[in-house]
């Protein structure tokens, strides 16, 4: 459940993330007009805006990598889950000189997850990359690397909120379908998803709520 | 927290093992730099013995600084650094692990190679021992300070040269105490004061540099 | 309480700009007057030294310049840290404005040190503890200036510079101690530049006046530079455009 950019003052009781009058800055420029929205458990929020409007900066701010220029954001829910959203950036964070499973294992270990071989295989299988698990990342195409990066989502045991930046980029039609399925499944289980995408989202159930970023009001 | 440290060091070592040529480069540079001095100064043994500690230390410093940018730059470019920074409270672990990886891959080989260079400069055995002892204490300081410089200059075009300019003044005490230890031993004095100072410097740097480096990482990625 | 609030009013670049503009000529005048008196006392009234003759008189510039160079580094680090900790834009601007002046004083101290060394000991440069420390201080300034210039994003540049300046300040005592250690060990040029002639009270007065003159000069120059940087950073803001529009053309380009 999400509000309009024109504030929703009373967030729903099951809100995982509440954003109030948030503004983000890159360099000296404020990127967008203040936005407010709430993300409820089991919902998908689709951030839209023109190129350069600040979608990536907003996600980074929600992830905690940058401080907002104004306003605040609050994560609610169980403390071991809430302040640790899973953030997948536009860059895949895979090391070219590691194998697929080594790279994936590293990323999962970083976020504190205990990883066994079976989990890894299953996660890679979900995105169709199990056959390449011992290949070096540098031998993969862009789309394949994206699939490996997304495999992290399939390896999650906890219901962390997901922040996904252009997750559908570089995927072929089959990959898009796989990802849509994974996202929808996460939402159905009660997890929250905030994502950006240039292209229409191929997810109908649950219907994504849209948050538009607009240019800031001043001259 | 120690879990993150171990995971990061293990990964960096594994990556280095896959690119063995890159690991050898700092040592190769060090060898070339050190060998240039006799060519420039003349082969007279007395002169060489005198300049040896200074030459080895300065070359070690430059070799360390030239290789430290790589440590952060690759992770910054492919988004791995961002993922590391997402782990709560990880910044100091990242700084420490990078310094440790850098020392294992550049500092430790230098320490092992130092006796060979000592022989090239016709140093006596006690002098060589003192050189090695000093490097053992001092090269971690260089790695820690180099990490700070790399975090401050993350993603900048001017890269390694800028890093050297801003970090080298901070490394001067290590060079003075390290090279001074060898000179003291060669004049028959005890170098214990030097080692104590180096040790104190190492502790001081090991405690404070990771905090500063963590702050620099935050500044650079905000 | 109300005085503090009124004082903080000047913490914004827009409010600081006119105030600084009014103060600059006064600081300049004070600097000129104090320097004139100080130099008169130092060059003409202080007694000639028995061993060094009249060449020693350069210390009336060398020593105040060295003091200023060290003081300005710490002041720069202080304001940069304030700017970082409190998000105070003016403080960050002031820190950046101090750096070139501090570097200039360092260079002046080194240069006058050389001018002193040559007639007295026959060498343009000696590696004694103080001159070597001044040289390292010049490197620290150069590093700060190079770092903030290399970063395009002003916020990141200000903060990275603040961190570097604070780290440098913490290290300055360590570096100084190590250089003294190094110098005493090697017993090199310890026929040192540092043995100044015994201080007659006229000499002390002259050095004090020169130090104050340099202080006033530093204020004037730093304020001018701060105004320029503030104008540049806020060049879209209304106050900046108004100030520029209102400035009489006959005053010339810079403020």
Q: Is C36 a domain residue?
A: yes
Q: Within 13 A of C246's CA, how many CA atoms are on the CB side?
A: 7
Q: How confident is the model at residue C249 (pLDDT cuts 50, 70, 90)?
A: low
Instruction: Tell me how close the Cα of A191 comes to any Cα of chain B, in angstroms.
Output: 19
| Residue with tokens 């000093």, as numbered in its chain | B134
Cα separation of B153 and C245, whole Å? 39
Q: Is A136 a domain residue?
A: yes
Q: What is the average per-residue pLDDT within C18-33?
A: 89
- Give me the percent of chain C exceeding a pLDDT of 90: 45
CB spacing of A97 vs B80 below 8 angstroms: no
Q: Are residues A32 and A133 in the same domain?
A: no
Q: Are residues A81 and A182 in the same domain?
A: yes
Q: How confident is the model at residue C247 (pLDDT cuts 50, 70, 90)?
A: low
Which CATH number does the domain housing residue A10 bear? 3.40.50.300
Q: How confident is the model at residue C245 (pLDDT cuts 50, 70, 90)?
A: low
Cα separation of B136 and B115, whole Å? 12
Q: Is the pLDDT of residue B150 over 90?
A: yes
What pLDDT is stored for residue A91 in this prediction?
A: 92
Give per-residue pLDDT as tens, B36-92: 998 998 888 888 888 999 999 999 999 999 888 888 999 999 999 999 999 888 899
Query: Which among A115, A135, A158 is the end of a domain?
Result: A158
Cβ of residue B219 closer than 8 Å to a chain C Cβ: yes
Q: Are residues A3 and A77 in the same domain?
A: yes
Give me the torsion for CA of C84, C86, C89, C92, rounded to 10°. Answer: -40
Instruction: Tell me how close the Cα of A217 comes to any Cα of chain C, in angstroms.
Output: 15
Q: Is A90 a domain residue?
A: no
Q: Please name the helix (run of DSSP H) or strand (run of DSSP E) that holds residue C244, with its range, or none.
A: helix C238-246
Nearest to B82 among A93, A96, A98 (CB): A93
What pLDDT is stored for residue C204 in this prediction?
A: 84
Phi and psi of A63, rounded to 5°?
Answer: -75, -15
Q: Is C241 a domain residue?
A: no
Q: Is C244 a domain residue?
A: no
Q: Is C229 a domain residue?
A: yes
Q: What is the average per-residue pLDDT within C166-194?
A: 76
Beta strands in A41-95 (DSSP E): 44-48, 70-75, 86-88
Q: Are residues A138 and A38 in the same domain?
A: no
Q: Is the pLDDT of residue A26 over 50?
A: yes
- Give me the percent of chain B exceeding a pLDDT of 70: 99
What tokens appear for C193 in the block? 């530049």
Which residues from C are below 8 Å from A27, CB to CB? Answer: 152-155
Q: Is the pLDDT of residue A219 over 60?
A: no
Q: Is the pLDDT of residue C239 over 60?
A: yes
For B74, nearest residue in chain A (alpha carbons):
A95
Which residues from C are below 8 Å from B165, CB to CB? Answer: 139, 142-143, 146
Provide the domain limits for residue A121. Answer: 97-158
CB spacing of B15 vs A98 below 8 angstroms: yes
Which CATH number does the domain housing residue C44 bear? 1.20.120
What pLDDT is stored for residue C188 in this prediction?
A: 46
What pLDDT is stored for residue C191 in this prediction?
A: 39
Q: Are residues A151 and A218 in the same domain?
A: no
Rounded to 5°, angle at Cα A96 from B94 and A167: 85
CB spacing of B7 vs A110 below 8 angstroms: yes
Which residues from A are below 8 Å from C154, CB to CB? Answer: 27-28
CB spacing of B158 vs C175 below 8 angstroms: no
Q: What is the average per-residue pLDDT within B167-195?
A: 93
Q: Is the pLDDT of residue A191 over 50?
A: yes
Query: Residue C253 contacts by C-beta under 8 Å, 6 or more apart in sequence?
Result: none
List the beta bridge partners of residue A18: A38, A74
Q: What is the average per-residue pLDDT within B178-191?
A: 91
- Give which of C250, A111, C141, C178 is closest to B194, Cα–Cα: C178
Query: Which among A158, A191, A208 is the end of a domain?
Result: A158
- Residues of C engaging A, defined by a Cβ cutoff of 8 Å: 152-155, 233
Query: Which among A158, A185, A200 is the end of a domain?
Result: A158
What pLDDT is stored for residue A158 in this prediction?
A: 81
Q: What does the mean pLDDT of chain C come to?
A: 84
Which residues from B are below 8 Å from C167, CB to CB? Answer: 148, 170, 212
Rounded to 5°, angle at Cα C5 from C4 and C7: 65
Rounded to 5°, angle at Cα C30 from C27 and C36: 140
Cβ of residue C141 closer than 8 Å to a chain B Cβ: no
Q: How confident is the model at residue A27 (pLDDT cuts 50, 70, 90)?
A: confident
Q: Is C58 a domain residue?
A: yes
Give pTM, 2 decimals: 0.89
Q: Are residues A45 and A77 in the same domain?
A: yes
To test the contact with chain C by mutation, choose from A26, A27, A65 the residue with the greatest count of C C-beta atoms within 10 A, namely A27
CB B133 within 8 A of CB B195: yes
Range with top average pLDDT, B12-16, C58-62, C204-208: B12-16
Q: What is the average per-residue pLDDT within B8-21?
A: 92
Q: Please name the helix (run of DSSP H) or strand (run of DSSP E) that holds residue A210, with its range, or none.
A: strand A209-212
Q: Are residues A18 and A123 in the same domain?
A: no
Q: How confident is the model at residue A78 (pLDDT cuts 50, 70, 90)?
A: low
Q: Is the pLDDT of residue A88 over 70?
A: yes
Q: Are residues A72 and A120 in the same domain?
A: no
Higher pLDDT, C248 or C196: C248
Q: Is C254 a domain residue?
A: no
Question: How many domains, chain C?
Answer: 1
Which residues from C are below 8 Å from B215, CB to CB? Answer: 163
ipTM of the complex: 0.92
To test the contact with chain C by mutation, choose from B219, B221, B222 the residue with the greatest count of C C-beta atoms within 10 A, namely B219
Q: Are residues A80 and A112 in the same domain?
A: no
Per-position DSSP letters for C71-118, written without gaps between them: HHHHHHHHHHHHHHHHT-HHHHHHHHHHHHHHHHHHHHHHHHHHHHHH
Provide the domain limits for residue C185. Answer: 23-236
Which residues from B are below 8 Å from A91, CB to CB? Answer: 78-79, 82
Give per-residue pLDDT as tens, B76-129: 999 999 999 998 888 999 999 999 999 999 999 999 999 999 898 889 999 999
Write out B147-159 in H/E/C secondary structure. Answer: HHHHHHCCCCCCH
Q: Is C138 a domain residue?
A: yes
What pLDDT is stored for residue A80 in this prediction?
A: 56
To test the contact with chain A by mutation, choose from B3, B81, B86 the residue with the greatest count of A C-beta atoms within 10 A, namely B86
Q: Is C9 a domain residue?
A: no
Range with top average pLDDT, A69-78, A209-218, B75-84: B75-84
Residues 177-216 of chain B whose Cβ lies under 8 A from any Cβ of chain C: 177, 180, 183-184, 197, 201, 204, 208, 212, 215-216
Question: How many domains, chain A?
Answer: 2
Cα separation of C132 and C126, whole Å? 8
CB spacing of A65 vs B221 below 8 angstroms: yes
What pLDDT is stored for residue B97 in this prediction?
A: 96
- Give which of C32, C101, C99, C105 is closest to C65, Cα–Cα: C105
For A66, nearest residue in chain B (alpha carbons):
B222
Write out A11-52 in H/E/C secondary structure. Answer: CCCCEEEEEEEEECEECCEECCCCEEEEEECCCEEEEECCCC
């Amino acid at each position: 459940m999400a509000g309009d950019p024109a504030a929703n003052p009373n967030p729903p009781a099951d809100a995982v993330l509440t954003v109030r009058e948030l503004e983000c800055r890159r360099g000296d420029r404020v990127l967008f007009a203040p936005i407010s929205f709430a993300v409820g458990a089991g919902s998908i929020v689709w951030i839209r805006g023109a190129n350069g409007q600040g979608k990536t900066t907003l996600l980074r701010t929600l992830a905690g990598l940058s401080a907002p220029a104004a306003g605040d954001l609050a994560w609610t829910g169980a403390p071991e889950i809430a302040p640790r959203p899973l953030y997948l950036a536009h860059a895949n964070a895979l090391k070219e000189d590691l194998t697929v499973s080594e790279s994936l294992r590293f990323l999962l270990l970083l976020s504190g997850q205990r990883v066994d071989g079976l989990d890894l295989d299953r996660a890679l299988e979900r995105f169709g990359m199990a056959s390449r698990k011992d290949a070096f990342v540098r031998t993969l195409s862009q789309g394949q690397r994206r699939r490996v990066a997304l495999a992290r989502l399939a390896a999650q045991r906890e219901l962390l909120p997901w922040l996904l930046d252009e997750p559908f980029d570089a995927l072929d039609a089959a990959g898009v379908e796989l990802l849509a399925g994974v996202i929808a499944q996460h939402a159905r289980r009660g997890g929250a998803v905030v994502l950006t995408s240039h292209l229409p989202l191929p997810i109908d159930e649950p219907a994504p709520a849209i948050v538009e970023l607009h240019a800031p009001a001043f001259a | 927290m120690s879990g993150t440290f171990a995971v990061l060091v293990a990964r960096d070592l594994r990556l280095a093992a896959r690119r063995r040529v890159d690991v050898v480069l700092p040592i190769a540079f060090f060898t070339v730099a050190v060998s240039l001095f006799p060519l420039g100064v003349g082969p007279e043994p007395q002169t060489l013995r005198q300049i040896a500690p200074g030459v080895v230390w300065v070359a070690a410093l430059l070799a360390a600084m030239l290789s430290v940018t790589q440590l952060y730059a690759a992770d910054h470019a492919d988004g791995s650094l961002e993922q590391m920074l997402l782990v709560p409270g990880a910044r100091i672990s990242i700084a420490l692990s990078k310094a440790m990886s850098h020392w294992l891959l550049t500092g430790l080989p230098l320490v092992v190679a130092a006796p060979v260079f000592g022989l090239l400069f016709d140093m006596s055995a006690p002098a060589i021992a003192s050189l090695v002892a000093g490097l053992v204490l001092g090269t971690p300081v260089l790695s820690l300070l180099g990490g700070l410089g790399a975090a401050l200059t993350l993603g900048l075009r001017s890269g390694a040269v800028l890093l050297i300019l801003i970090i080298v003044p901070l490394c001067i005490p290590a060079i003075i105490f390290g090279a001074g230890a060898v000179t003291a031993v060669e004049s028959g004095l005890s170098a214990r004061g030097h080692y104590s100072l180096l040790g104190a410097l190492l502790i001081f740097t090991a405690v404070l540099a990771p905090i500063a480096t963590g702050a620099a990482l935050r500044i650079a990625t905000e | 309480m109300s005085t503090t609030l009124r004082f903080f009013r000047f913490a914004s670049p827009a409010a600081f700009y006119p105030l600084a503009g009014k103060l600059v000529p006064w600081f300049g005048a004070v600097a000129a007057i104090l320097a004139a008196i100080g130099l008169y006392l130092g060059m003409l009234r202080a007694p000639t030294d028995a061993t060094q003759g009249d060449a020693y008189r350069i210390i009336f510039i060398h020593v105040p310049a060295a003091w200023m160079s060290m003081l300005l580094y710490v002041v720069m680090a202080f304001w940069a840290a304030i700017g970082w900790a409190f998000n105070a834009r003016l403080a960050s601007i002031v820190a950046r404005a101090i750096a070139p002046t501090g570097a200039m004083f360092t260079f002046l101290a080194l240069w006058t040190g050389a001018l002193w060394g040559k007639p007295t000991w026959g060498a343009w440069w000696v590696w004694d503890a103080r001159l070597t420390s001044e040289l390292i201080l010049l490197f620290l300034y150069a590093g700060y200036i190079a770092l903030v210039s290399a970063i395009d994003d002003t916020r990141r540049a200000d903060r990275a510079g603040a961190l570097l300046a604070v780290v440098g300040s913490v290290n300055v005592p360590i570096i100084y101690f190590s250089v003294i250690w190094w110098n005493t060990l090697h017993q090199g040029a310890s026929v040192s530049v540092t043995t100044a002639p015994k201080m007659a009270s006229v000499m002390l007065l002259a050095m004090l006046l020169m130090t104050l003159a340099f202080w006033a000069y530093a204020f004037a120059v730093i304020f001018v530079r701060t105004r320029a940087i503030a104008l540049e950073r806020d060049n879209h803001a209304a106050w900046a455009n108004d100030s520029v529009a209102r400035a009489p053309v006959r005053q010339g380009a810079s403020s």
